[in-house]
């Protein structure tokens, strides 16, 4: 196998990485694999090709975690046939030409099986690079094994059972041999883990030269992928899901396990703890400070800490960030409401809108859900209230806004920009005005928030604005995995592996809550909640951990996948998308309005089939050994 030479089309090797850091290295035109591995420099270009199949995490058009769910919504004037993720959110996924087709490529999805093929080529041929040292070769091989594992994982969480491609087929393989089968989900997960475990001994603890290696794989990255894969495999969608009992291939092989296995949660516990230990050994830590340019209140400082967790390019919490698609000025402008008068006719985009559902998700200042807090005016949350001087860090003093925007936890104010709310860009305070005819309302085609909300969390406090370009942006790698995510995965796995939550479960949730300025779970619920004993039961703590993840990781591309693996997506995605009346002047703005669906919208319900994406019909026709996912 290793002696087989592959003739390849140069186009498949020349992939332009519109990026920075390590992925700026791309292969040149090569005629054969021999040329691709003739020396170290050529081999490194092929290594970059293997990295370049990573999804563009920061791009809302192509990352389903951003655009295909219910936490952000893009106005209808902005969404077109090229906006694949938003079309999925509108119930328009299909089997004839699937959106974000990562199986065989298409509709803005990268062909991950081509990526896996290139990883296999690399592993088979890297020994031919004559001037490559042994230690470096082993490190590169380990990185590519983890990339190969990650591509299998992305396909697994998207499609469920998938063909495992351990090695490329020889060029003389007959037609029947290329008609592969989908492997059962447990086999897929075991293979992902096997690849990562093989790679671990040869991966560095931390990046050797971060300025030029940012985005490359370390032990902590590999173990984080393993942890996320095993938590996904232990979750309800893939652990004893009898809804998939009929998914059997033409050999009679069931593709989804039918019996719940609690041991999968213990396996996830061990993987999460190993990932946390590796991250901490590499000096990753929770972000708990912000260096300001000015004299600011403790309230604003906490907000800046929370915003910088995700957006600081030097964040100690960042374990793995996307460098093949950084969160650039254009994408940050989508999130920014217009805050000052500008001279340019098109300085802003301002259409990256949080939904009302997300505004209601965050806790009260007491650290419990708004519909559980005994002191919160939940039934009157849409009525008006006037801000007093002491509330100026959150809402402009003397202005009226909804009760919903008062007395909330710090993560709410750090994550969502709302009408009359404070918007701090160090060292200047701005105030959002979104009512019809005001600054942050519609300017040009598609340049408006569909809900009246904006996503503040994705804008670093060190960004600045001016009258010409609006946003002098602070660019950063879009985080794929951070330490706070691991803490919550660990708490979830611990809770599921036990009969009842214990001190360690509370500890890892409370570490996240403490940074947000909240008391611990047990203390908060006992003092402020209408359900004071909720944290004492496995079921109650499960609900708390879910909401904690949805809050802490809001707008980071995780909610979409979490709702799927928990089998909660139908519950949320079938509810209408709501916001404020963006056409309303004055206080008429504050009428809850259904943004989607409206009469005449081409929408289908989000039903069970959407938990797994369809394999393209043409692929099923070409290879009848592939069984289609249910409902497609």
Confidence of residue 464 (pLDDT cuts 50, 70, 90): confident
* Residue 345 in this model has a pLDDT that exceeds 90: no
C-alpha–C-alpha distance, residues 591 and 580, integer Å: 6
Secondary structure of 400-413 in HEC code, one letter for each residue: EEEHHHCCECHHHH
3-state secondary structure of 82: coil
Q: At what angle do helices 483-497 and 503-515 cross, to 10 degrees?
A: 150
* Residue 1 in this model has a pLDDT that exceeds 50: no
C-alpha–C-alpha distance, residues 98 and 576, integer Å: 24
C-alpha–C-alpha distance, residues 225 and 231, integer Å: 10
State the burial class of residue 513 (Cβ atoms within 10 Å of its Cβ: 0-12, 13-18, 19+): buried
Cα 98–Cα 255–Cα 103 angle in degrees, nearest 5: 25
Which range scores top for mean pLDDT: 1-5, 27-31, 77-81? 77-81
Report the pLDDT averaged over residues 178-205.
Answer: 97
Contact partners, residue 78, CB within 8 Å, separation at least 6: 351, 446
Q: Which domains does the chain have, with CATH numbers?
A: 10-55+110-283 (1.25.40)
Q: Bigger pLDDT: 274 or 330? A: 274
C-alpha–C-alpha distance, residues 489 and 234, integer Å: 11
* Residue 494 in this model has a pLDDT that exceeds 90: yes
C-alpha–C-alpha distance, residues 27 and 234, integer Å: 39
* Residue 408 in this model has a pLDDT that exceeds 60: yes
What are the φ and ψ backbone dihedral angles of 164, each rounded to 5 degrees? -85, 125
pLDDT for res 468: 72
State the burial class of residue 543 (Cβ atoms within 10 Å of its Cβ: 0-12, 13-18, 19+): middle
Nearest C-alpha neighbor of 43 from the set 25, 17, 16, 59: 25
pLDDT for res 188: 98
Taking the CA atoms of 612, 617, 623 and 627 in sequence, report the sign of the dihedral they define. positive
C-alpha–C-alpha distance, residues 277 and 493, integer Å: 16
* Token output for 74: 């893009």
Confidence of residue 500 (pLDDT cuts 50, 70, 90): very high
Specify which residues 577 forms β-bridges with: 596
Confidence of residue 348 (pLDDT cuts 50, 70, 90): low
From the centroid of its chain, how far is CA 423?
Answer: 24
Secondary structure of 544-572 in HEC code, one letter for each residue: HHHHHHHHHCCCCCCHHHHHHHCCCHHHH
pLDDT for res 472: 64
State the burial class of residue 186 (Cβ atoms within 10 Å of its Cβ: 0-12, 13-18, 19+): middle
Confidence of residue 209 (pLDDT cuts 50, 70, 90): confident
* Residue 7 in this model has a pLDDT that exceeds 60: no
The reported pTM is 0.94
Secondary structure of 19-63 in HEC code, one letter for each residue: CCHHHHCCCCCCCEHHHHCCCHHHHHHHHHHHHCCCCCCCCCCCC
* Token output for 624: 């009848």
* Token output for 36: 């691709």
Radius of gyration, alpha carbons of the chain: 25
SS3 content of the chain, % helix, strand, coil (to 5): 40, 10, 50
Cα 379–Cα 382–Cα 387 angle in degrees, nearest 5: 110
pLDDT for res 347: 62
Q: What is the DSSP pairing of strand 476-482 with strand 318-327?
A: antiparallel
* Token output for 473: 């942006």
3-state secondary structure of 349: coil
Min mean pLDDT across 101-115, 159-173, 344-358, 477-491 is at 344-358
C-alpha–C-alpha distance, residues 20 and 596, integer Å: 37
From the centroid of its chain, how far is CA 492?
Answer: 18
C-alpha–C-alpha distance, residues 321 and 215, integer Å: 6
Report the pLDDT averaged over residues 567-595.
Answer: 96
pLDDT for res 622: 94
pLDDT for res 178: 85
Q: Bigger pLDDT: 558 or 169? A: 558
pLDDT for res 31: 52
Nearest C-alpha neighbor of 347 from the set 470, 473, 475: 470
pLDDT for res 596: 94
Nearest C-alpha neighbor of 84 from the set 95, 68, 102, 105: 68
Give the DSSP per-residue string, 438-483: STTS--STT-S-SSS-EE-TTS-TT-B--TTTS-B---EEEEEEEH
**Residue the block writes with tokens 């985080």:** 479
C-alpha–C-alpha distance, residues 546 and 549, integer Å: 5
Question: How far from 615 is each of 9, 54, 106, CA to CA, in Å?
Answer: 25, 20, 12
* Token output for 88: 């999925």
* Token output for 239: 């652990």
* Residue 554 in this model has a pLDDT that exceeds 50: yes
* Residue 230 in this model has a pLDDT that exceeds 50: yes
Query: Do you know the residue count of the chain?
Result: 632
Confidence of residue 171 (pLDDT cuts 50, 70, 90): confident
3-state secondary structure of 144: helix
Report the pLDDT averaged over residues 249-258.
Answer: 96
pLDDT for res 236: 98
What are the φ and ψ backbone dihedral angles of 218, each rounded to 5 degrees? -120, 180
Are residues 217 and 211 in contact, defined by beta-carbon separation less than 8 angstroms?
A: no
3-state secondary structure of 494: helix
C-alpha–C-alpha distance, residues 341 and 508, integer Å: 45
Report the pLDDT averaged over residues 214-234.
Answer: 97
Contact partners, residue 344, CB within 8 Å, separation at least 6: 467, 468, 469, 470
Confidence of residue 465 (pLDDT cuts 50, 70, 90): confident
Cα 66–Cα 70–Cα 71 angle in degrees, nearest 5: 65
Contact partners, residue 291, CB within 8 Å, separation at least 6: none
Min mean pLDDT across 82-91, 169-178, 369-378, 444-453 is at 169-178
Specify which residues 373 forms β-bridges with: 529
pLDDT for res 8: 30
* Residue 248 in this model has a pLDDT that exceeds 70: yes
Give the DSSP per-residue string, 372-421: TBTTS-GGGTTSEEEPPGGGTTTB-TT-EEEGGGSSB-HHHHHHEE-TTB
* Token output for 619: 């692929």
Confidence of residue 271 (pLDDT cuts 50, 70, 90): very high
Average pLDDT, the chain: 91
pLDDT for res 333: 84
Report the pLDDT averaged over residues 238-256.
Answer: 96
* Residue 3 in this model has a pLDDT that exceeds 60: no
Min mean pLDDT across 159-168, 319-328, 340-349 is at 340-349
């Amino acid at each position: 196998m290793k002696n087989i030479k592959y003739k390849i089309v140069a186009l498949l090797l020349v992939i332009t990485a519109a990026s920075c850091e390590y992925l700026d290295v791309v292969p040149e035109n090569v005629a054969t694999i021999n040329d691709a591995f003739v020396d170290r420099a050529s081999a490194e270009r092929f290594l970059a090709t293997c990295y370049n199949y990573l999804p563009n995490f920061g791009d809302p058009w192509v990352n389903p975690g951003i655009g295909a769910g219910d936490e952000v919504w893009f106005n209808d004037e902005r969404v077109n046939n090229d906006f694949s993720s938003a079309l999925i959110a509108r119930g328009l996924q299909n089997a004839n030409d699937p959106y974000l087709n990562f199986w065989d490529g298409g509709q803005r999805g990268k062909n991950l099986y081509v990526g896996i093929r290139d990883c296999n080529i690399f592993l088979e041929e890297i020994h031919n690079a004559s001037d490559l040292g042994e230690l470096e070769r082993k490190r590169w091989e380990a990185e590519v094994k983890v990339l190969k594992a990650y591509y299998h994982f992305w396909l697994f969480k998207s499609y469920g059972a998938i063909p495992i491609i351990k090695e490329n087929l020889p060029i003389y393989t007959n037609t029947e041999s290329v008609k592969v089968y989908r492997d059962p989900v447990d086999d897929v997960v075991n293979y992902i883990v096997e690849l990562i475990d093989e790679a671990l001994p040869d991966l560095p603890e931390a990046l050797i030269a971060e300025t030029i290696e940012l985005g490359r794989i370390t032990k902590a990255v590999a173990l984080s992928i393993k942890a996320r894969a095993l938590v996904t495999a232990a979750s309800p969608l893939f652990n004893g899901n009898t809804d998939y009992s009929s998914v059997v291939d033409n050999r009679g092989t069931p593709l989804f396990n039918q019996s719940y296995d609690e041991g999968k949660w213990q396996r996830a516990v061990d993987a999460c703890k190993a990932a946390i230990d590796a991250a901490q050994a590499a000096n990753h830590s929770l972000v708990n400070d912000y260096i300001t340019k000015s004299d600011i209140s403790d309230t604003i400082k906490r907000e800046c800490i929370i915003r910088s967790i995700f957006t600081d390019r030097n964040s100690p919490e960042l374990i793995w960030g996307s460098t093949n698609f950084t969160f650039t000025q254009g994408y940050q402008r989508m999130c920014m409401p217009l805050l000052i008068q500008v001279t340019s006719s098109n300085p802003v985009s301002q259409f990256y809108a949080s939904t009302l559902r997300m505004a209601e998700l965050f806790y009260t200042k007491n650290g419990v859900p708004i519909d559980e807090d005994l002191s919160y005016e939940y039934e009157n949350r849409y009525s008006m209230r006037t801000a007093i001087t002491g509330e100026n860090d959150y809402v402009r003093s003397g202005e009226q806004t909804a009760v919903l925007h008062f007395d909330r936890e710090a993560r709410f104010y750090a994550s969502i920009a709302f009408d009359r709310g404070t918007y701090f860009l160090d060292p200047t305070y701005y105030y959002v005005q979104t009512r019809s005819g005001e600054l942050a309302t519609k300017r040009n085609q598609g340049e408006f928030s569909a809900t009246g909300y904006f996503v503040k969390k994705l804008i670093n406090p060190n960004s600045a604005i001016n009258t010409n370009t609006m946003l002098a942006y602070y660019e950063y790698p879009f985080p794929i995995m951070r330490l706070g995510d691991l803490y919550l995965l660990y708490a979830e796995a611990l809770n599921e592996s036990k009969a009842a939550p214990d001190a360690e479960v509370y500890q890892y949730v409370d570490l996240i809550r403490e940074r947000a300025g909240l008391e611990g779970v047990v203390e908060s619920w006992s003092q402020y909640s209408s359900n004071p004993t909720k944290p004492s039961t496995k079921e109650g703590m499960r609900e708390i951990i879910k909401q904690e993840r949805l809050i802490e990781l809001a707008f980071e591309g995780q909610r979409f996948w979490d709702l799927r693996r928990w089998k909660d997506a139908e519950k949320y995605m079938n509810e209408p998308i709501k916001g404020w009346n963006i056409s309303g002047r004055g206080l008429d703005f504050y009428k809850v309005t259904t943004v989607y669906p409206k009469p005449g919208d081409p929408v289908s319900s989000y039903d069970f089939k959407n938990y797994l994406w369809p394999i393209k019909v043409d692929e099923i026709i070409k290879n009848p050994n592939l069984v289609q996912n249910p409902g497609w």
